[in-house]
Amino acid sequence: MKQVPSNIKSLIKSKAADLGFFYSGFSKAGFLEEEAPRLEKWLKNKSHGKMRYMENYFDKRLDPRLLVDDAKTVISLLLNYFPSETMPNEDGPKISKYAYGTDYHFVIKTKIAELLSFIRSHLGEVNGRAFVDSAPVMDKAWAKKSGLGWIGKNTNLINPKEGSFFFIGELIIDYSIEEDGPIKDYCGTCSKCVDSCPTDALNTPYQIDASKCISYLTIELKDEIIPSEFNGKMNEWMFGCDICQDVCPWNRFSKPHNEPLFEPKEILFDLSKKDWEDLDKKTFNTLSKNSPLKRSGFKSIIRNIEFLKDDGGKNNR
């Protein structure tokens, strides 16, 4: 075993910053006692809609030691994706800001792999594994425990200096590093996210009924049609939704990212409303290559566009 630098924690944080993560935090790997009953209730209430995969690996979601042998530390990392400009076609189909550029899974995992190599160069043989929301890890809970923010009424992690337009990744390692403590909740009496949700997915603050969320309806729901109860409530969102983040006062602190891979493809901002309505498979393949848009697939995107076209895409609340 190599001699461990006394400032290993600050060295890791510095390296994470060099890799583009604007915040990193440390927490002790263990069972998430507070989250266990909440997750169980959420699933029991069918708030996950038809996302059956959320029912899998219940124990692993709550304990990272079941994912990484002898796990000791969870390193949470935040990567900014807030764009310098948004899609210009305001009356046409809208895409969530996180999906403008290259699929974040590729970007973050590459960065975390480099961070793990850096850690090994100082600590020797360390067992570690990267996670970016495609495995059963409760990323927001761990980021909260490590002091990177609080989980707001819109169920997003909110950082008091950066808002919430960022991705969360984790590096779980079998080496103990001093943990950071959580910070307090600063949502206060604000209810803008709850009041602004057109589908009432946030009817209960701090809880989301995913089966009503526009992001779920446009991405995760694989049915041939979107339920008619959402007619006139989609606000032109074709892929994802940013409403509860756009109205959050803390996002006045959001600053444009500096990650080249998150820059939008030129074609994305060039398409008119009619171009979207006439979208063909070839154009979709160009748009979705190495993009989060690929998750929905061509058929679901066309379904979403048709749904918006049929109901006018207007909010009738």
Q: Is 163 left (phi over 0), alpha (psi -120 to 50) or beta?
A: left
Q: Has residue 183 been placed in a domain?
A: no
In this prediction, residue 184 carries a pLDDT of 97
* 118 and 163 both lie in a single domain: yes
Structure tokens at 183: 């910070």
* Residue pointed to by tokens 């793990």: 116
> One of 63, 133, 174, 246 is an active-site residue; which one?
133
In this prediction, residue 300 carries a pLDDT of 96
Per-residue DSSP letter, 77: E
* 282 and 226 both lie in a single domain: yes
Q: Has residue 259 been placed in a domain?
A: no
* 197 and 165 both lie in a single domain: no
In this prediction, residue 92 carries a pLDDT of 82
Can you give the pLDDT of all 317 residues of the chain as single tens digits? 566 777 999 999 999 999 999 999 999 999 999 988 888 888 888 878 888 778 787 888 999 999 999 999 999 999 999 999 998 876 789 999 999 999 999 999 999 999 999 999 999 999 999 999 878 899 999 999 999 999 999 999 999 999 999 999 999 999 999 999 999 999 999 999 999 999 999 999 999 999 999 999 999 999 999 999 999 999 999 999 999 999 999 999 999 999 999 999 889 999 999 999 999 999 999 999 999 999 999 999 999 999 998 765 454 44
SS3 94: strand
Structure tokens at 111: 């960065």
Domain range for residue 223? 192-240+266-311
* 145 and 209 both lie in a single domain: no
Q: How far apart are CA 85 and CA 83, in angstroms?
A: 5
* 34 and 166 both lie in a single domain: yes
* Residue pointed to by tokens 């950082």: 159
* 142 and 205 both lie in a single domain: no
Q: Has residue 257 been placed in a domain?
A: no
Q: Has residue 317 been placed in a domain?
A: no
Domain count along the chain:
2
Q: Count of residues for the chain?
A: 317
Q: How far apart are CA 51 and CA 65, in angstroms?
A: 24
Instruction: Quote the radius of gyration of the chain (alpha carbons, Å).
Output: 20
Q: Does the pTM exceed 0.95?
A: no
In this prediction, residue 45 carries a pLDDT of 83
Q: Is 166 left (phi over 0), alpha (psi -120 to 50) or beta?
A: beta
In this prediction, residue 100 carries a pLDDT of 96
Kindly provide the b/e burial profile for residues 64-88, where b requires at least 16 CB atoms within 10 angstroms of the residue's own CB. beebbeebbbbbbbbbbbbbeebbe
* 158 and 214 both lie in a single domain: no
> Which neighbouring-strand residues pair with 89?
none
Distances (CA, A) of 238 to 70, 120, 217, 305, 307: 43, 43, 9, 6, 9
Structure tokens at 89: 């076609």
185 is an active site residue: no
* 291 and 213 both lie in a single domain: yes
Structure tokens at 100: 């403008």
The CA angle 56-60-66, to the nearest 5 degrees, is: 140
Structure tokens at 186: 């600063």
In this prediction, residue 2 carries a pLDDT of 63
Per-residue DSSP letter, 100: S
* 160 and 33 both lie in a single domain: yes
Q: Has residue 42 been placed in a domain?
A: yes
Structure tokens at 65: 């030691």
